[in-house]
Structure 1
């Protein structure tokens, strides 16, 4: 045990020496980035690091960005194979719609596509009534989830995002929500889909939904997530993209030039805060029979890697965890801010051979290539429905 204690002190001491040799103040911070948004945030999805925050804690209306919470709540509390019956209240919901009819039934999975690709308020209401038992019950689940993931400055009043007093969030909170939701493969597969077909029980033609998120075609590597607009909230957008194994997400609230700003913010994140692997699973700790139990990566600006401090907290050999091969935890910090940790195991621990898998299981949809003519036809079909179907 004394040897392990000395080892922990040696790790901490070495880290302090690094900080003294390369003082934090010596590193030049990356340049700033300007946006037209009233509020904005840029986050690294894997680590949760907020890279940019412009008035990120300002409570604002978020329009249909609300549906990010609606979708992840429904995914976690519902069954994708469930048949959702559309109520008259859902079918008559104002605003953007996928034109559901009262009494119609659709699988929860397909309804989630209609919710996220076409921002259907009718789908949001039907999903909420089905999963939550009532709108009020579902909104309760939404706010419970917000509390669980640290959205401390947010409150939800409905599943659609229509303007309502007391319904608000912040750019920082929505970034945290997006990072959480994008770790779910069901959600991730839905929001990256450019076009989706679904059975239509009322017509001879299937539903065909083209994603409103233009970032999917405007930005290389784009893979989500949601547009939003109301007269009071103005233009709102959450987008994400993955390059070189790193996924970033951007939130802008009330941004008249959001497409351009999102490209600028994503470029900024990839250029100035690339994801760096600090340790790999199985890496050995020098002079000790202890190895790293999980890889750890973090987005770092130039010079920050030299300021990383590593501290090992080792277990008591008499503990139950020690007998099962655990040896402690290695934590990572930048200055006084802890940024993450990994478990430490004995070199022969069976836990090292356990494959790391997501807690979710889902089959990703097949790729779908859409021609320019087909996209134009879908847009024309949408205009015709808005002109005639909504007036019936």
Structure 2
């Protein structure tokens, strides 16, 4: 009797727990399926993993190599370490000027701008109070010769005051994806509150490299003549970056960049290069010598061009990558019905690898904004633990146009997503439910057993 009782109890417990797990699983799966009404026809490909290329030997203690188009991080060393950028700061000053001014605008030097250099040895072109230049001339002086007083004059012209311009710099840096940056001036002269990271400077450089006007000025290899002004004779300047044509560290794929140096920052360098349609950005900080910053940059470029390829992703492939788990576990989850599109894009991956090695995740660390009902965040494409592409994702309530989301081509996959309540199964929750069910079943069975025993006892007494 006791043996049959325990056997029956075990069967009932097993059935109850299985039903509980099945119910939770079906509920969760159904919720996910409702939220993701996409046909993932390109999933299920064999995943033949190709290892990441061996890292090159470089001297910089904080550096990074990224693809300018995809944001792929090909190599990094301490790229989120706080550093002083020195005059590499001026690429952001130049970009903001280009975005907010006409090239023919005339700038008149103020007293503050003319006397803004700390010491005479700081890079400058000896501009005088009341001297006039066009914005185009000042941009060449800024980006080619690194004139500090020209950075100050452009900041005043763009924003009305240098303090207002610094606020614009910090806002723009954040917009471009800089996470740990704060600027205190337009030139990069040392200030304890003027800092960035190699990663952040690479994100800023992406914005610069993707601006045609910026590249046109910054790639000037020949001598540039600033005509005589109302107060000075003409000035002839050349780019300080030594990897351009005719320089001592000439690199045939170099498209420009920016040098920097202060005692506190040591030698810094941002460089743009292009080969066979692949555009790379290299940032090296804390280089001990002028020579090392150029040799390290060349080493990283050669390694990147030799070991990586740019691959096109379709919208349906991106849709497959944007998995249920990424969506429900990310900071972009919302109780609203959502609209967003997934466009074809590019990623940069090791040679001989394929898209089957790539996954997608939501970058929850990126500062999200909510403007006009649209939430903006970043997506990261991952190859193993390496970021091989990034893009901005705009998410809005159903019926709101999110605009163009991913670069290069038009949208080929878009959907309206209605998130359902999602239950995640925790094994201890299941154990707890099972224990409660076990106790209830035990009580029921025990009462039934005692009732049967009393009936049996009463029948025996009547017979006696």
TM over 0.5: yes
Q: CA, structure 1 residues 70+339, in 2 after alignment: closer, same or farther (shift >3 Å)?
A: closer
Q: CA RMSD in A?
A: 2.7
Listed one character per residue, the Cα deviations across residues 89-113 of structure 1 (whole Å, up to 9, x for unaligned) are 2222231002211100101111011
**Alignment counterpart, residue 229 of structure 1, candidates 239, 261, 270:** 261
Which deviates the most, 207-216 or 194-203? Answer: 194-203
Shift, 1:297, TM fit: 2.7
CA contact (8 A) 1:308 1:333 kept: no
Given the two structures, how large is their TM-score scaled by the length of structure 2?
0.61
Question: Match for residue 383 of structure 1?
Answer: none
Give the secondary structure class of the aligned counterpart of 1:176.
helix
Unaligned 5+ residue runs, structure 1? 281-291, 312-330, 347-392
Give the secondary structure class of the aligned counterpart of 2:294.
helix
Unaligned 5+ residue runs, structure 2? 1-34, 316-340, 361-378, 392-405, 414-464
Superposed counterparts of 1:102-121, under 5 Å = 102-121=129-148
Cα separation, 2, equivalents of 1:345 and 1:108: 41
Question: Match for residue 149 of structure 2?
Answer: 122
Q: CA, structure 1 residues 299+135, in 2 after alignment: closer, same or farther (shift >3 Å)?
A: same
Task: State whether structure 2 residue 298 is matched by structure 1 residue 263.
Answer: yes
Task: State whether structure 2 residue 159 is matched by structure 1 residue 132.
Answer: yes
Cα separation, 1, equivalents of 2:107 and 2:232: 20
Cα separation, 2, equivalents of 1:164 and 1:266: 31
Q: CA, structure 1 residues 345+32, in 2 after alignment: closer, same or farther (shift >3 Å)?
A: closer
Question: Match for residue 22 of structure 1?
Answer: 47
Listed one character per residue, the Cα deviations across residues 109-137 of structure 1 (whole Å, up to 9, x for unaligned) are 11011000000001011111111111101
Superposed counterparts of 1:1-392, under 5 Å = 8-11=38-41, 14-15=42-43, 17-18=44-45, 21-23=46-48, 26-92=49-115, 93-94=117-118, 95-194=122-221, 195-202=223-230, 205-217=233-245, 218-255=250-287, 256=289, 257-278=292-313, 296-307=345-356, 333-334=381-382, 339=390, 341=406, 343-345=410-412
Considering only CA atoms, is the larger Rg found in Structure 1 or Structure 2?
2
Given the two structures, how large is their TM-score scaled by the length of structure 1?
0.72
Cα separation, 1, equivalents of 2:381 and 2:179: 24
Give the secondary structure class of the aligned counterpart of 1:252.
strand
Cα separation, 2, equivalents of 1:307 and 1:345: 20
The number of residue pairs the alignment matches comes to 305
CA contact (8 A) 1:307 1:335 kept: no
Shift, 1:10, TM fit: 4.0
Cα separation, 2, equivalents of 1:142 and 1:100: 23
Shift, 1:335, TM fit: 6.0
Shift, 1:9, TM fit: 2.9
Cα separation, 2, equivalents of 1:242 and 1:78: 28
Listed one character per residue, the Cα deviations across residues 159-216 of structure 1 (whole Å, up to 9, x for unaligned) are 0100012100000000011011110111111110122112122578422110000111
